[in-house]
């Protein structure tokens, strides 16, 4: 008699299995989890995995988006359409509302990404969320590479590297005191290329700006930025129309585009495979404020 030898899971299948396991662990350990959802590629993949984890039952978590007010219209339209398609509950924490009522002050550089921390922490507190799932990956940035999959945050929402817990044998410790919460990153072990290959395999829809299209852009600090309510070109800055796409999406004032002819997913995968820079390193101006910009913001309570 010949024994059947089990086939080894491919990389994407193993990553998917790990992420679904983590999401189900959150459902079992926490009372009020929430998924951070911006409409970007990573949070869209995270949502896809969460829906898959509980199918055919409905997703038991609401979604939370910290809206800077400087988001690309294509992304907001995609966010709202996705929420409606799956019948989900979306909590929106608006940076613009905080600026309008004086709780936050507009920065001189116009960048709003650093302003997301206070609305995020207030939304977590007001809704008593005890676990916040995000699409952060370790390959994005050095500070994120330090973070565990279950990342404890103190009563002020702050990240304390010395309180990071060991995660041996895929065992995750979600214990926390009243007022604390845990950030959970099911995509920690994924790379940008893994994400794109998974999107191709699962045929996941994304906002159109992830694919090459003609757009008016202006060169500033070595990046192609998009003029709009968040960015007014200086007199000496020329606005040109180029074929570009976005590797990541966020606040329009600091999220740059890359020149590209990748109009479909196969071309995007080929382009990402050849890239030597992460998407944040190549297109996020807010990460260039200092060598420790992301770590400083995470200590304050940022994603």
> 46 and 15, same structural domain?
yes
In a domain, 2, yes or no: no
> 219 and 118, same structural domain?
no
> 215 and 178, same structural domain?
no
> 85 and 26, same structural domain?
yes
In a domain, 231, yes or no: yes
> 97 and 72, same structural domain?
yes
In a domain, 86, yes or no: yes
Count Cα neighbours of 36 within 13 Å in the Cβ-side half-sphere: 26
With contact defined as beta carbons under 8 Å apart, do 252 and 228 qualify? Answer: yes
Measured CA to CA, the distance from residue 20 to residue 273 in angstroms comes to 25
Domain housing 284: 209-288
Burial environment of residue 178 by CB neighbours within 10 A (0 to 12, 13 to 18, 19 or more): exposed
Nearest-5° Cα angle at 150, 67 to 61: 50
List, for residues 151-203, the tens digit of each pLDDT value.
888 877 777 777 777 777 777 877 787 888 899 999 999 999 999 999 999 99
Q: Which two tokens stand for residue 200?
A: 């191709």
Q: How many CB atoms lie within 10 A of CB 284?
A: 23
Measured CA to CA, the distance from residue 284 to residue 247 in angstroms comes to 10
Residue 126: which CATH number? 3.40.50.620
Measured CA to CA, the distance from residue 293 to residue 289 in angstroms comes to 6
Q: The whole model's pTM is what?
A: 0.89
pLDDT of 285? 55
In a domain, 238, yes or no: yes
> How many domains does one find in the chain?
2
> 87 and 19, same structural domain?
yes
> 174 and 53, same structural domain?
yes
In a domain, 94, yes or no: yes
In a domain, 4, yes or no: no
> 226 and 162, same structural domain?
no
Measured CA to CA, the distance from residue 132 to residue 181 in angstroms comes to 8
| 3 state SS of 137 | coil
Least confident of 38-52, 62-76, 91-105, 279-293: 279-293
Q: Which two tokens stand for residue 150?
A: 């279950």
| 3 state SS of 63 | strand
Q: Which two tokens stand for residue 32?
A: 């009020």
List, for residues 275-300, the tens digit of each pLDDT value.
877 665 555 555 555 545 655 565 56
Considering only the C-alpha atoms of the chain, give the largest distance between any 2 of them, rounded to a whole number of Å: 80
Residues present in the chain in total: 303
Q: For the chain, state the CA radius of gyration.
A: 20
In a domain, 33, yes or no: yes
> 91 and 186, same structural domain?
yes
> 215 and 157, same structural domain?
no
> 110 and 30, same structural domain?
yes
pLDDT at 251 over 90: no
List, for residues 177-188, the tens digit of each pLDDT value.
788 889 999 999
> 111 and 33, same structural domain?
yes
In a domain, 63, yes or no: yes
């Amino acid at each position: 008699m010949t024994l059947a030898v089990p086939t080894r899971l491919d990389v994407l299948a193993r990553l998917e299995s790990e992420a679904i396991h983590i999401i189900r662990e959150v459902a079992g350990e926490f009372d009020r989890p929430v998924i951070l959802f911006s409409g970007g590629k990573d949070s869209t993949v995270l949502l896809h995995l969460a829906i898959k984890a509980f199918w055919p039952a409905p997703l038991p978590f609401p979604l939370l988006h910290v809206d800077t007010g400087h988001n690309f219209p294509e992304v907001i339209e995609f966010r709202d359409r996705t929420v409606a398609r799956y019948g989900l509950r979306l909590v929106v924490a608006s940076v613009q509302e905080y600026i309008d009522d004086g709780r936050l002050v507009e920065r001189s550089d116009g960048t709003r990404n650093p302003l997301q921390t206070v609305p995020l922490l207030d939304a977590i507190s007001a809704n008593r969320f005890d676990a916040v799932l995000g699409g952060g990956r370790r390959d994005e940035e050095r500070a994120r590479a330090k973070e565990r999959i279950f990342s404890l945050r103190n009563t002020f929402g702050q990240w304390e590297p010395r309180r990071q817990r060991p995660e041996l044998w895929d065992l995750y410790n979600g214990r926390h005191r009243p007022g604390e919460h845990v950030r959970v990153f099911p995509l920690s072990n994924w790379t940008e290329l893994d994400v794109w290959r998974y999107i191709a395999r699962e045929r996941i829809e994304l906002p159109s700006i992830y694919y090459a299209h003609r757009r008016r852009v202006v060169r500033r600090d070595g990046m192609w930025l998009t003029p709009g309510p968040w960015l007014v070109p200086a007199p000496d800055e020329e606005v040109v129309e180029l074929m570009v796409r976005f590797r990541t999406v966020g606040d329009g004032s600091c999220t740059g585009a890359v020149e590209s002819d990748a109009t479909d997913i196969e071309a995007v995968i080929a382009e990402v495979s050849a890239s030597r820079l992460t998407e944040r390193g190549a297109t996020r101006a807010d990460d260039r404020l200092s060598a420790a910009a992301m770590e400083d913001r995470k200590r304050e309570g940022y994603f």
